[in-house]
Amino acid sequence: MTRTLFTGGRVVDGTGAPAAAADVVIEDGRVVEVGPGLDGDVEVDCAGATVLPGFVDCHVHVMVTSVDSLRMAYTPFGYSFYEAAQNLRATIGAGITTVRDAGGADLGVKKAVDDGLVAGPRMQISVAPLSITGGHGDDWLPSGTHLEFFVPHPGRPSGLCDGPDEVRRTVRQMLRAGADVIKVHTTGGVLSPTDDPRHAHFSPAELDVMVAEAAAQGASVMAHAQGAPGIKNAVRAGIRSIEHGIYLDDEAIELMLEHGTWLVPTLSAPLAVIRAADAGASIPPSSVAKARGVVQTHRESFARAVEAGVKVAMGTDAAVSPHGTNLEELPLMAAGGMTPDQVLAATTSSAAALLGMQDEIGRLAPGMRADVVVVEGDARELEGLRERVREVWKDGVRVVG
């Protein structure tokens, strides 16, 4: 087998340790050595660059390309699968070699990437989010029509459910459809026009059934949770990660620490809604107003969670923000109190741990998958990081550069 040597650069191994001068050797899709003075059959010159593990984004929607409601209404159903291929290419082009899709991608999309039909990051999928009637995932509009982000089809069941029995059946349907993780909306949201992100959705009894059914088949649950009551319900039920966490209060933070719950902040999402609206996208005025109203609260909640020591993994809600701009999340995390080294760990080893893949990805260490990103200059300079991505390798194969 060919030994590929990344040499002449500084290595960020993904653990949170500072960058250090070292070489990395990969062979047969795995990292085999990390250290000084190594040799290989083929050299990759990394002079003036930082070598890192492949980045991980724990919250994307690869089947969605725009939050413009009129564009969505006039886009043919099948077109979104072709757009997904483009979105996946843009994502891996940013150095994101693994993603967790938080709704939309079905098993066919995941398999197309696994089989090499489409270039993109490896995927964990949730298929479709669970929502109550009238909740964040119920796409009913005041006109009486529907404008659905995730139109049900044979590979993507509807996530709408009410009561423990319907919840149990819907979780089983998602798992049957190939879900690696169950996604639930435990609060309202910003982009949905008829609910409030501060209100709790699903009862504790419904959430208990959800978590138990997922666990019975080895899966965890991730929760779109913005308001404090819905966040606390999710944490108490044993849900693994809180997505967004806009209105965290002290009790919610303490509960997250007690239960070891992860926070995936998606700080860039409300900013992206505002930018899209300012650029002329057709977004309900109520949604734009909600986005403008949560930005500062979101930042403050995140900063308090970081200060308290809540576990953080990077996620962007890409689709709300353009695919391929994922790394714009990193400076926002640093502005919330994380050091650059902590941010890079949240984007590599910590994100891998949230996904249960800590023995496969997220670190440059012998035995790990050979996901490697080469970035011009010091990767701890987080601003403009995407523009400095020089090469991307996934499972030992160069996919960018």
Are the CB atoms for 314 and 56 separated by under 8 Å?
yes
d(CA 323, CA 60): 8
* Active-site residue identified among 183, 232, 290, 394: 183
Q: In whole angstroms, what is the distance from residue 197 CA to residue 268 CA?
A: 17
d(CA 127, CA 101) in angstroms, rounded, equals: 8
Q: Which residues, in sequence order, are CB contacts of 69 under 8 Å at separation 6+?
A: 147, 282, 283, 284
Token pair for 80: 């979104």
* Residue 183 annotated in active site: yes
CB atoms within 10 A of CB 322: 17
CA angle 397/388/98 to nearest 5° reads 45
Neighbours of 111 (CB within 10 A): 13
139: which 2 tokens? 């796409």
DSSP conformational letter for 63: T
Q: What is the C-alpha separation between 280 and 86, in angstroms, rounded?
A: 23
Coil, helix or strand at residue 374? strand
Q: d(Cα 113, Cα 85) in Å, to the nearest integer?
A: 9
378 is catalytic: no
What distance in Å separates the CA atoms of residue 338 and residue 345, rounded to the nearest whole number?
10
Q: Which of 139, 180, 317, 371 is catalytic?
A: 317
CA torsion, points 364, 368, 370, 372, in degrees to nearest 10? -30
Q: Is 136 exposed, middle or buried (0-12, 13-18, 19+ CB in 10 A)?
A: buried
Q: DSSP class of residue 172?
A: H
Q: Do 221 and 184 meet the contact criterion of CB atoms below 8 Å apart?
A: yes
**CB 286 within 8 Å of CB 235:** no
Known catalytic residues?
183, 317
